[in-house]
Amino acid sequence: MVKQASCLCKNAQTQTLAAHNGGAYIVSIRHGRLKVWEFLCVNAQVENWDDLRLFLAVARSGTLSGAARVLGVNHSTVFRRIGSFEEALGVRLFERLPNGYLLTPAGEEMHQGALRVEEEIAGLSRKVTGQDLRLSGTVRVTTIDMLAFGLLPRHLASFRMAYPGIEIELVVGNATLNLNRREADVALRVGNDPPESLVGRRVGQLVFAAYGSADYCRRNTEPDLAHHDWIGFDAEHAALVRRFSDFLPDVTPILRANSVAAALAAAKAGIGLASLPCGIADLEPDLVRVATLPGDFTLDLWLLTHEDLRRTARIRAFLDFLTDALLNEAPLLEGRLRDVGAEVMPAT
């Protein structure tokens, strides 16, 4: 449980001293934005919350490179700061193994305490932000590459015109950022089972079809889809891999990608056919829709945030605007604006 004591400083900045399990950290709130300045522990000299964030990133990813990607720094910075952190504490937190970093017993103890502190700080941050009624500030949005490249830009441009006081931070990647920890404010995600801890709504359905370049289709007129070269996906897109395997069980893709945007680029280059979302591929003049796919080649599109943030004015404005925009895109997202363009046998 966190005990809080607040004071109004000369610069109109509210500071909260929060005690937690024998330690304390100072939380600074300026214009509705929260920042942790310092963490003091009776058992260890931890003078910078950023050190704990770095420690947690390495603990979660198990590698320096994984932590570096999450934190937006380079590998050498993580290596140097973890070493300095351990030196300041006088204890080794990680065992360096050939395949990554493993917590030591001391690291395990630090990990549990750091998680509790992180949870308290994130909860306080959400509650403070949730009381912000201004249509200004920053909304941090996370989504996957295919939506960031092919779907969002035109809607972000329209949102900017409607709300010039709101800045957007767009975080693109297949890794799922944690909205509970305020790694993002809003998530645009695909899938059929959004986390129960988040609130939001289904804003569309992505229907997939088979696409190839015009040049590939001219060179390959075989009507049986099983006799074509295919571009597939790796385990990061398990749902699509499973659907493709059920659809064409005897076909092994000649190229696999962990990115739908990369698969789309490969299809445009004429490497083979790819199962792609109609809402993105149909906008590409270099691609031909060569076949429909079975009905289960669909993914729901969800717009999500945390319960504590849903009434924040700038986040509410973004959610309402994007919800309306995507619902109006239903004919495109569901593949109803373009027909099969080549004589390749459609799926049944």
* Alpha carbon distance 215, 291 (integer Å): 16
The candidate with the shortest Cα–Cα distance to 117, out of 198, 75, 56, 201, is 56
The 10s digit of each residue's pLDDT in 82-123 is 888 888 888 889 998 888 898 998 888 888 888 877 777 766
Long-range interactions of 25-31: CB distance < 8 A, separation 24+: 25/49, 25/117, 25/121, 27/121, 27/124, 29/128, 31/137
Cβ–Cβ < 8 Å for 197, 210: no
Residue span of the structural domain in which 256 resides:
134-348
Question: How many domains are there within the chain?
Answer: 2
For position 23, what pLDDT does the model report?
43
| Bigger pLDDT: 130 vs 29 | 130
* Alpha carbon distance 150, 310 (integer Å): 26
Q: What is the helix (H) or strand (E) element at residue 256, kind and residue range? A: strand 255-257
* Alpha carbon distance 328, 151 (integer Å): 13
For position 337, what pLDDT does the model report?
84
Among 130, 163, 190, the domain-final residue is 130
* Alpha carbon distance 115, 106 (integer Å): 14
Residue % of the chain over a pLDDT of 90: 40
For residue 102, the cross-strand partners are: 95
Residues 205 and 345 in one domain: yes
Cβ–Cβ < 8 Å for 232, 256: yes
Q: Is the pTM of this model over 0.75?
A: no
Among 99, 130, 161, the domain-final residue is 130
Residues 122 and 163 in one domain: no
| Bigger pLDDT: 342 vs 181 | 181
* Alpha carbon distance 83, 199 (integer Å): 39
Three-state DSSP at 211 gives strand
Residues 7 and 42 in one domain: yes
Among 73, 108, 130, the domain-final residue is 130
Q: Which of 39-48, 58-67, 215-224, 227-236 has the lowest mean pLDDT?
A: 39-48
Residue type for 42, please?
A: V
Q: Which of 11-20, 178-187, 227-236 has the lowest mean pLDDT?
A: 11-20
* DSSP secondary structure letter of residue 345: P
Q: How far is CA 33 from the centre of its chain?
A: 22
Using only C-alpha atoms, the chain has a radius of gyration, in whole angstroms, of 24
Residue 117 vs residues 161, 183, 294, 316: alpha-carbon distances, Å: 39, 15, 48, 28
Contacts of residue 222, defined as CB under 8 A and 6 or more positions apart, other chains included, come to 228, 344
The 10s digit of each residue's pLDDT in 112-163 is 888 877 777 766 665 655 555 568 889 999 898 889 988 999 999 999 999 9
For position 282, what pLDDT does the model report?
95
The 10s digit of each residue's pLDDT in 276-324 is 999 999 999 999 999 999 988 999 999 998 877 777 889 999 999 999 9
Residues 122 and 141 in one domain: no
For position 312, what pLDDT does the model report?
84
Helices in the chain by DSSP H: which ranges? 49-61, 64-71, 75-89, 105-130, 145-150, 152-162, 214-219, 238-247, 260-268, 278-281, 313-327, 330-333
Beta strands 137-143 and 94-97, pairing class: unpaired
Find the CATH number of the domain harbouring 234: 3.40.190.290
- What burial class does residue 270 get, using C-beta atoms within 10 Å of its C-beta: 0-12 exposed, 13-18 middle, 19+ buried? middle
| Bigger pLDDT: 116 vs 247 | 247
Residues 84 and 184 in one domain: no
| Bigger pLDDT: 180 vs 54 | 54
Residues 144 and 104 in one domain: no
**Confidence band of 209 (pLDDT split at 50, 70, 90):** very high
Residue type for 294, please?
A: P
Q: Which residues of 171-201 are buried (b: 16+ CB within 10 A; e: fewer)?
A: eeeeeebbbbbbbbbbbbbbeeebbeebbbe
The candidate with the shortest Cα–Cα distance to 120, out of 11, 255, 18, is 18
**Confidence band of 74 (pLDDT split at 50, 70, 90):** confident
Residues 122 and 242 in one domain: no
- Choose the most confident range, by mean pLDDT, from 19-28, 35-44, 51-60, 153-162: 153-162
For position 200, what pLDDT does the model report?
83
Residue type for 280, please?
A: I
Residues 22 and 163 in one domain: no
Residues 248 and 302 in one domain: yes
Residues 72 and 183 in one domain: no
Find the CATH number of the domain harbouring 84: 1.10.10.10
Residues 172 and 92 in one domain: no
Residues 124 and 227 in one domain: no
* Alpha carbon distance 143, 302 (integer Å): 10
Residue 106 vs residues 48, 75, 89, 94, 193: alpha-carbon distances, Å: 19, 23, 10, 9, 37
